[in-house]
Amino acid sequence: MKTLSKFYFLLIVTIFNQSCAKKHNDVLDYETVIQKSAAQYSEMNKAIHPQINNKNFIPRTIRNNAIRLVNLYDWTSGFYAGSIWYLNFLTEDEKWKHLALEYTKKLDTIKYWEGNHDVGFIMECSYGNAVKKTASKAFDSVIVQTAKSLSTRFHPKAGIIQSWDASKKWNCPVIIDNMMNLELLFNATKISGDSTYYDIAVSHANKTLENHFRPDNSSYHVLNYDTENGTILNRNTHQGLADDSAWARGQAWGLYGFTVCYRETKNPKYLNQAIKIADYIKNHPNLPKDNIPYWDYNAPASDETPRDASAAAITASALYELSTFTKEDSNEYKSFADEIMQSLSSPTYFADKGTNANFLLKHSVGSIPHGVEIDVPLNYADYYFLEALYRYKNLK
């Protein structure tokens, strides 16, 4: 009897130890990931910094097996500076701060650009992060002036910010990505005290909530508006599989954008929408086991179908923030984000030092319908991965 009791005791101890080991292995080793990220971007800096005074000086992706540099008017131009800011936040190494300031200040003239809605991406990722670290009225004024430029694309009668300029295909296209530019407007109101920017952001968020989502809480990519009365003329895609499909990065933009809107307004309808999108992503039957989505949730599930690490990184970052606003489901969303980050930090997606043109993440997709940036690194994948890593660290 004693022998049997001892057997069961040892069995319980073994199961407990295995369980603890599994839990330990499931914890993201963020310090190691931070070190590897810093080492990789040190190599990146060595490779590209000599180009900083050229027209094209910002690393975006790989093309023809070589790094592709873009100029400050490319919609992705703020992500490299933003990634360097996050390396500064994560490592507290001042060398990254100096480098981030250098690349941030190169984007100064964007504050006057009225020709693109993506100025929110460009300036919030660079100057927006600079404001967090460096108190400067000059930086504050850049945010406000950029918001003023962005506001010129607002159509009061329709209540939306126009994305791209009019074309033969669309009268006034508004893409789900535009939710990511609202943070700039919210910050401009906090800096200036002028509620105009806040009101525009809220109006755009409300119209997006009203018009962009299907009953299953997936999002259309492009809506075509009549600017005089706000009528929806068409619902299409530009980068997704089909007009009625769920383009993976678009779902991530929506999740992130409505989480930000709740943070800035505390309006529960934005939180509810963010939760609905998170649940759509988490419970999608076509989501691979490693939680890195195919480029479109309606794309065929196969080993040949490209994944989109950028969509996964954006989703993880948004989920970490969302988990701070939800009480009952907080651990669920954080755990889902942890699982995504575990996958992105694995050798399958995280590049070895000196490879992948010195970008962090492999296997992202720009636009399959246009045949560009398929299964390549992308600077915004790295940016949101580092932001997610920072948020993970601060939730510990």
State the catalytic residues.
118, 177
CA–CA dist 248, 202 (Å, integer)? 24
Helices (H), the chain: 2-25, 30-48, 79-91, 94-105, 119-123, 129-133, 137-151, 182-192, 195-211, 248-265, 268-282, 309-323, 330-344, 379-395
Spell out the residues 6+ positions from residue 74 whose beta carbon is closer than 8 angstroms to its own. 58, 60
Spell out the residues 6+ positions from residue 133 whose beta carbon is closer than 8 angstroms to its own. 85, 88, 89, 97, 100
Strand partners, 378: 61
CA 61 remoteness from chain centre: 16
Encoded tokens for 281:
């992503």
CB contact at 8 A, 72 and 107: yes
